[in-house]
Homo-oligomer: A and B are copies of this chain.
Amino acid sequence: MPDKKQLHLTAFMRPVSLHTGAWRYPGAYPDANFNLKHLISFIQSLEAAKFDAFFMADHLAVLNMPLEALKRSHTVTSFEPFTLLSALSQVTTHIGLAATASTTYDEPYHIARRFASLDHLSGGRAAWNIVTTGNPESSKNFGRDEHVEHGERYKRAREFYDVVTGLWDSFADDAFPRDPESGVYVDPEKIHVLNHKGDELSVKGPLNIARPVQGWPVIVQAGQSEPGRQLAAETAETVFCGPRDIEAAKALYQDIKGRAEAVGRNPNHLKILPAALVIIGDSVEDAQEKRLKLDSLVHYDSAISSLSIALGTDASKYDPDAPLPKDIPETNASKTSREGVINLAAKEGLTVRQLASRLGGYSGLAFVGTPETVADEFEQWLNEEAADGFTITFPFLPEGLENVTKRLIPELQRRGVFRKDYEGTTLREHLGLPRPKNRFFT
């Protein structure tokens, strides 16, 4: 048992970097999001550094940016998460494999099955990032003209979670005697038929796959809106959130852990892992210069589209050199994102162009410094209960990733706040999470 609190670290891949300029950075692999060889090298580096998990984000559409602006973006197209993570499960042995899957435009039977299968294939390393789909373009790829409204999406998500976890519990852990002598393969007394009939979903069951190795794959949540926080408190085991600074992070940490306790959960079984861009340099100035160089590679076309996505409205119609207008219309796009952008513009007095450039690169929480200064900050966040670890996104790859795995991680290990080797073989073991009991069988 280590004597210091331990950090948990996951790598957030979309599918490589979230930063729009990343593919143009010197030494980057422009084709990395379609070249499996590169993704294999990234995940193997992360596993060698003992990361908890590799986290594949997702969208169900080409994002709603103008076609002309699309041309700058390397995040438009990539592998689909289930297929990618299943492939990566065979070139790794320990690192967790987290996939985003939407509750808005998919079926709980499919989702339950694919995660259970990934968990079996990987020996207990799967995690499900439960999202509702807030991109209005997605609805049009799934037969709907109108996007599903925000509250409705969360209502369905909550029920979807109940159905998926219920399906995972279809079979007792010891349901399969597989005895060639008697000819009994499965014990029918140890199969539960769910027979779920709710407001949103009707699913009979049982699932046609044995209970996952981990009981349930680890549940990940990202929402920060009111229904998003409540859903996280009730269901999540790791929360991937985006506080703007340590004070906001502490408030969010207290809020979500408090809500979890209020619904009878052990708050230690919910890990808060804020998303953060990490840039490591030889000095703080060197790291800051790398960030400036990276941001300079974002074209205004991309910048303005990112702003349009965040606001849920076409921002190219605004005067680039004037402040953001006051009358941004409310839409069905993510409320959290829209409000964050409006607050950022007001707080820092940014013009549309300045705001767009920030968003077009990466506008969220960032740690920019040396291995020592970033490790100091990580320890502070950990010890002051602002975070249980981080969901790290890399500025550019392979260099930015290697700076983390080969320079920051050894510093964290030296300080005794990050593992030198995996404690177990499943993602639940890495995260210190219990294996859920089967609700239908003891």
A residues near B (Cβ < 8 Å) are: 23-24, 28, 30-31, 34, 36, 59-62, 67-68, 70-74, 76-80, 82-84, 86-91, 105-107, 109-110, 113-114, 116-118, 120-121, 137, 140-145, 171, 176, 178-180, 183-188, 191, 201-210, 297, 299
Contacts and interface: CB of A to CB of B under 8 A. Distances in A.
B185 A143 contact: no
Contacts of A179: 30
Contacts of A83: 82-83, 86, 114, 117-118, 121
A83 B141 CA distance: 23
Given A30-B178, A120-B34, A183 B297 contact: yes
A141 B204 contact: yes
Given A62-B206, A186-B70, A180 B82 contact: no
Nearest to A210: B77
Given A77-B171, A141-B203, A82 B114 contact: yes
A76 B61 CA distance: 34
A206 B61 CA distance: 7
A287 to B, nearest CB: 22
A59 B185 contact: no
Given A90-B87, A121-B79, A30 B180 contact: yes
A31, A86, A145, A204 — which one has the most chain B CB atoms within 10 A of its CB?
Answer: A86
Given A24-B183, A71-B186, A204 B140 contact: yes
19 contacts: A23-B180, A34-B120, A62-B206, A62-B208, A67-B188, A70-B188, A70-B191, A71-B187, A79-B117, A79-B209, A83-B117, A84-B86, A86-B87, A87-B87, A87-B90, A105-B109, A106-B110, A137-B204, A143-B201
- Nearest 5 A/B pairs, CB to CB: A86-B86, A140-B204, A80-B117, A90-B90, A83-B117
Given A76-B186, A77-B171, A140-B202, 7 more contacts: A34-B210, A36-B120, A72-B185, A77-B209, A78-B208, A90-B91, A141-B203
A192 B311 CA distance: 26
Number of copies: 2
Contacts of A202: 140, 143-145
- Among A72, A74, A83, A84, the most chain B Cβ lie within 10 Å of the Cβ of A83
Contacts of A78: 208-209
A330 B46 CA distance: 57
Contacts of A105: 107, 109
Contacts of A82: 82-83, 86, 114
Nearest to A141: B109
Given A67-B188, A203-B143, A121 B36 contact: yes
